[in-house]
Homo-oligomer: A and B are copies of this chain.
Amino acid sequence: MILQTPVIVVNVKTYLESTNIKAVEIAELMEKISRENGVRMAIAVQPTDITLCVQRVSIPVLAQHIDPINPGSHTGWILPEAVKAAGAVGTLINHSEHRLTIADIDTCVKRAKELQLDQIVCSNNIDTSKAITAFSPHVIAVEPPELIGGDVSVTTADPDIVSGTVNAVKNLNKNCKVLCGAGIKNGKDVKKAVELGADGVLLASGVVKAADKEKVLRDLASGL
């Protein structure tokens, strides 16, 4: 696994504030704060923006998604090999905004392993986290969908889902890392996540929509 933990992963989604050069700007800020504070950070960007970011920063750049396909006749889908060639070191899989069938999660994890792409598979609760452990991904990121994009952090609204996922997953596979996400906004949320046993956090709007991104990133970093 290229990603090391504990880690703060920022998924910049498809906001205008994080498209093309603006994704690079966020990545550069993250790299700067990562270096200054010695805190590990990684960014998940749109497929159009992977190479742009990889050319400009040395923090790990991830894809937001891969499709469960082999090279071939698949117009407009995301080929794992293309994401690798563009320079990504890993990928999110099964984000709550991009759910996959169980057979396709299995295929995506296997394809990513073949290509040595790190896998962060998202889940929505303790049971699905346990299920995903069967595929031995590097990381499982539990995010209750109803809290995503909201004002209250999962660590406050539902701390049991974090500690419960950590326990369930590590009980099945102690090498599997666990992130938590949904509503993460500041260093206090990050600190709480780590106290609950998580290996880091996954967040999006908390950084992307912030008026002062640098300040938010510094605050998040302070929690690790």
Contact = CB atoms under 8 A, between A and B. Distances in A.
Interface stretch (A27-35, A65-73, A155-163, A214-222): A65-73
Contacts of A73: 13-15, 97, 148-149, 204-205
A156 B112 CA distance: 31
Interface residues of A, number: 63
Q: Which of A20, A63, A94 has the most CB of B within 10 A?
A: A20
A52 interface: yes
Contacts of A130: 134
Contacts of A76: 63-65, 78, 92, 95, 97-98
A52 B49 contact: no
Contacts of A15: 71-73
A79 interface: yes
Nearest to A91: B76
A14 B47 contact: no
Nearest to A205: B73
A131 B124 contact: no
Oligomeric state, in copies: 4
Contacts of A14: 69, 71-75, 77, 79, 82
Contact of A82 (B49, B83, B94): B49
A139 interface: no
A150 to B, nearest CB: 11
A16 interface: yes
8 contacts: A11-B75, A13-B75, A14-B74, A21-B85, A64-B75, A75-B98, A99-B103, A102-B128
A7 to B, nearest CB: 18
Given A47-B48, A65-B75, A127-B134, 4 more contacts: A46-B78, A76-B92, A102-B123, A131-B134
A81 interface: yes
A5 interface: no
A147 to B, nearest CB: 13
A132 interface: yes
A62 B109 CA distance: 30
Nearest to A204: B73
Contact of A101 (B49, B69, B101, B204): B101
